[in-house]
Amino acid sequence: MSAARLDADGVSVEVAGRRILDEVTVRAAPGQVVGIVGPNGCGKSTLLRALVRTLTPVSGTIRLDGIDIATLPVRRTAQLMAAVLQDATGDFDLRARDVVAMGRAPFKRMFARDGAEDERLIDEALALVGAGHLADRPIALMSGGERQRVLIARALAQQPRLLVLDEPTNHLDIRHQFDVLALPGALGVTAVVALHDLNLAAHYCDLIHVLDRGRQVCSGEPAEVLTTDLIRSVYGVRAEVRPHPDTGRPQVTYDPDDFADQRPFL
């Protein structure tokens, strides 16, 4: 896979007349992994849907390698970027292999069969997420974690230059969380990843953008962004942030019984 440069500048999105995302800017150099973090409802998923054109911004521009994606045919967009979004249920009456094969559709004529190269890429994508043994299993009979891995494999089969992942660790056990988040770096593809787990974001992301109530609070390298004050301000919880003894990356430890704002959960 090759890597694209992403420049999303001043992106605002409105839904039913309500501004959900307000002038958010995200940039990623080729091969960088950019994390999007923030509390529930902050606009993470909305931003990612704008990046992959399932939502249209009311203002701002999104460029891939300098090209405004709004000017690209949908088929060409699908050849350049792939996504796994939270609303992808995977409830298909299909085998895992058939689902992953959908990732090759942007590169083929309608009703064309998979060629040898398609078959190779499908096998490779399943292997990358540790799902080769699931190839012939129906999606409907899989666990949530198995489905998630198959959907990620479908995105990888597209050979994207930009990979957009919305909470890709949902339903995954610890080992598979690590494996999936290591993939963009191992493949050298540019990635934008929305995450709840700040420790995973700190370890796997080159840059982190923090959103709160649709606005961009701050952005930068993990050590610059993930601070005790930031976590208290955005999440309303107390946390201690120290360098990991082995990696030097920020490591966040929470006190579940000590809320910064002392508000009851309603």
Instruction: Check whether 60 has a pLDDT greater than 80.
Output: yes
Residue 245 scores a pLDDT above 60: yes
Q: In what order do the strands lie in the sheet with 59-64?
A: 18-28, 6-15, 59-64, 67-68
What would the pLDDT profile of 206-237 be if each residue is shown by its tens digit? 999 999 999 999 999 999 999 999 999 999 99
Give 5's pLDDT tier (boundaries 50, 70, 90). very high
As a whole-number percent, the residues of the chain with pLDDT over 90 amount to 83
State the SS3 of 17-30.
CEEEEEEEEEEECC
Token duo for residue 170: 């949902």
Q: Residue 44, class by beta-carbon neighbours within 10 Å (0-12 exposed, 13-18 middle, 19+ buried)?
A: buried
Q: What is the pTM of this model?
A: 0.92
Residue in 247, 261, 117 with CA at minimum distance from that of residue 178: 247
Torsion of CA 43, 33, 87, 104, to 10 degrees: 140
Whether 252 and 244 have beta carbons less than 8 Å apart is answered as no
Which CATH number is 6-259 given? Answer: 3.40.50.300
Residue 192 confidence (pLDDT): 98
